[in-house]
Amino acid sequence: MRININLASQKYEDVRIFVSRARAATAILSLFTLLLLVLGWFNYSGSRNSSGRIRELQQKINVLEQQRANAIAVENMPENRDVTGQKNYWNRQIARRGLSWTQLFNDLQKIMPGRVYVISVAPELTTDNQLKLKLTIGGEKPDDLNALVKRMEDSKKFRHTLLNAESTQKETRPGAPPLHKFEIETFYIPAGQGQAQTASREGL
């Protein structure tokens, strides 16, 4: 009679399966690490290029700012003040004549609520050649006037709309509702500013 005796100190295991799985896991980890390295390199390269582009643009901005400062210094020289004053005057006149009253009232009409109307308009050209309007608006209800201010703030034609004053005036006609007035300041951007306008223009 034969008796089989296992003299091994540990339980038998299939090592080949373990080794094959370990190799597969190692290969996957290596591939993943390589992918991370490639992505990291592209990210570093892109950041380096962006930083270089930012530095280049900043240098150009600094040069332009220096040129602008030099030009302002030349304009402010005592011997050039008369020429600078004349240039600024004619630039204002050209810009003022660029305002089309017809276009302005058309733009206002598009955003004007019912029972609201323009009492007066006073255009003004700022020192940086922006067209500023001082408007007196009348209406029967303050809510309608507030709606106009909101529409002007949302419009592409008007910027930085500011309500300066509000007043109420009693009508002399019997039974007529009181008249509410708003004093509004806003910056107006004419149609085709900076380009040739096809609409007819009316001078101030």
SS3 call for 143: helix
User: What separation in angstroms does the CA of 185 have from each of 94, 103, 110, 188?
Assistant: 22, 18, 18, 10
Q: In this predicted structure, what is the pLDDT of residue 9?
A: 53
Read off the pLDDT of residues 21-63 as tens digits, 9 standing for 90 and up.
777 888 888 888 888 888 888 887 777 777 778 888 888 888 8
Read off the pLDDT of residues 98-128 as tens digits, 9 standing for 90 and up.
677 888 888 998 998 888 889 999 888 887 7
Q: Is the separation of the CB atoms in 89 and 197 below 8 Å?
A: no
SS3 call for 31: helix
Q: In this predicted structure, what is the pLDDT of residue 203?
A: 40
Read off the pLDDT of residues 127-166 as tens digits, 9 standing for 90 and up.
777 888 999 999 988 898 899 999 999 988 899 999 888 8
Looking at per-residue pLDDT, the higher value among 138 and 91 belongs to: 138
Average confidence (pLDDT) over 159-178: 78
Stretch (H or E) spanning 183? strand 179-188
